[in-house]
Amino acid sequence: MSSVAEQEQDPEAPLIDIDASDVAFLNSVRTSGVPIGLQQPSPRSRLVAGEGSCSGLQQCYSGVLEGLRKMQRGISSSSSSSSSSSSGIAGTIGTGLLVHGCHLLADGWEHIVWGNPPYELGRVPHAVLLAWEEKASVVIFGTGASERDGKKESEVTVQFMYDHWEELSQFDALKHVPLDVALEMMRRITVVDRETQNTDQEVRNGLQVMAQRRCSHAILVSSPTHLPRCLACACKVASAEPGLFLGPMYASPSDTCYEGASASDVVVVEPPHRGDRDKELDSLQFHELVKRTFRVKPNEKAQFLQELTSLLEKYGV
């Protein structure tokens, strides 16, 4: 029987038998409804969370648990089958993590990516914690959208992680993690995305890799000020390509936001849907108007925003 390590290295290998750790994973889903590690990735962060802090979203996750139930049924019936589809749910096991990239010119890049010990986990420490708790099959780091000294965004992020690995011990939430063992795990399961240029591409590539590794579910990791858009992009990609990845998708925020911002600064504009709305306004789709503002030419943005500000002031807002 092939080992778990061999299975991870060879996605085309025959399906492995279920061991005690797999049973524990399935039991955790059955009893809690939430994959291991998502209940409270950094619980101590609440102790130091001030008003406007990002850690208020620490328990936030999104997904469809029916996918996990299908996965359980698929594993139960897989003993009679010699192989399974690489992108299907039947016969899958393990977690796939996508750590969304942060533009290398972003204000406060190091704080966003790393955080501030002992309680504030950036995207990378948060991902390491989830990977350990979930016994992840793969962790994908994006993207290729920016570069520094000839290295892509993802490469810089992964190198930063390895260069500061011992400093992970300074985070309270990672005190129980044997870092030497976790380092071997991360070196084995890390995938560096050097090609994608935007979030849609980043998600599509990540889900494709997870399908190839037969992951049962996907977890998106990013900042609270970025993650809502990441999840929207993931849903859009999954809707456009239904067979790309059939497992449920979850979103797990780090504790760090864009510099000077918090989760309360994120605005989500939904299409009109409430039955008590003024339907006479339906011809003026506000969410479409917001989309159009992003298409204003760069050299005209300053004038546009000044005129928009004046218009809002005219109406007392």
pLDDT above 60: residue 62:
no
> Looking at per-residue confidence, does 242 or 76 come out higher?
242
What per-residue confidence (pLDDT) applies to 36?
Answer: 46
Could you give the angle at the alpha carbon of 307 between the alpha carbons of 306 and 311, nearest 5°?
A: 120
Q: DSSP E strands: which ranges in 127-244?
A: 138-141, 147-148, 151-152, 190-192, 217-222
What per-residue confidence (pLDDT) applies to 112?
Answer: 98
Q: Are 219 and 231 in contact (CB under 8 A)?
A: no
% of the chain residues with pLDDT over 90: 71
81-95, 144-158, 173-187: segment of lowest average pLDDT: 81-95
Q: Is 163 left (phi over 0), alpha (psi -120 to 50) or beta?
A: alpha
94-117 residues labelled b (16+ CB within 10 A) or e (exposed):
bbbbbbbbbebebeebebbbbbeb
Q: Are residues 193 and 251 in the same domain?
A: yes
- Is there a domain that residue 149 lies in? yes
- Is there a domain that residue 10 lies in? no
Give me 48's structure tokens: 């130091």
Q: Are residues 257 and 289 in the same domain?
A: no
CA distance 317 to 314: 8
Could you give the angle at the alpha carbon of 210 between the alpha carbons of 268 and 25, nearest 5°?
A: 95
What per-residue confidence (pLDDT) applies to 103?
Answer: 98
What per-residue confidence (pLDDT) applies to 54?
Answer: 55
Q: Are residues 259 and 285 in the same domain?
A: no
- Is there a domain that residue 1 lies in? no
Q: Are residues 108 and 61 in the same domain?
A: yes
Q: Are residues 170 and 294 in the same domain?
A: no
Question: How far apart, in Å, do the first and last CA atoms of the chain sit?
Answer: 67
> Looking at per-residue confidence, does 181 or 53 come out higher?
181
What per-residue confidence (pLDDT) applies to 193?
Answer: 98
Q: Rounded mean pLDDT of the chain?
A: 82
> Closest Cα to residue 249, out of 113, 89, 118?
89
What per-residue confidence (pLDDT) applies to 93?
Answer: 80
CA distance 93 to 152: 31
Residue pLDDT, tens place only, 167-187: 999 999 999 999 999 999 999
Residue 113's pLDDT band, with cuts at 50, 70 and 90, is very high
Contacts of 81 (CB under 8 A, 6+ apart): 15, 90, 91
Give me 33's structure tokens: 């409804």
pLDDT above 60: residue 108:
yes
- Is there a domain that residue 184 lies in? yes
Q: Are residues 101 and 246 in the same domain?
A: yes
Residue 41's pLDDT band, with cuts at 50, 70 and 90, is very low
- Is there a domain that residue 6 lies in? no
Q: Are residues 295 and 159 in the same domain?
A: no
CA distance 215 to 211: 6
CA distance 250 to 132: 17
- Is there a domain that residue 36 lies in? yes
Q: Are residues 180 and 130 in the same domain?
A: yes
* Domain stop point among 226, 242, 265: 265
Residue pLDDT, tens place only, 235-266: 999 999 999 999 999 999 999 999 999 999 99
What per-residue confidence (pLDDT) applies to 6?
Answer: 37
Residue 66's pLDDT band, with cuts at 50, 70 and 90, is very low
The count of domains in the chain is 2
What per-residue confidence (pLDDT) applies to 260?
Answer: 97
pTM (2 decimals)? 0.75
Q: Are residues 260 and 283 in the same domain?
A: no
Q: Are residues 261 and 302 in the same domain?
A: no
Q: Are residues 162 and 106 in the same domain?
A: yes
CA distance 111 to 108: 5
% of the chain residues with pLDDT over 70: 71
Contacts of 244 (CB under 8 A, 6+ apart): 87, 204, 207, 208, 211, 237, 238
pLDDT above 60: residue 16:
no
> Closest Cα to residue 255, out of 95, 47, 35?
47
What per-residue confidence (pLDDT) applies to 154?
Answer: 98
Q: Please provide residue 224's backbone torsions phi and psi, each rounded to the nearest 5 degrees.
A: -60, -25
Give the structural domain span for 286: 279-314
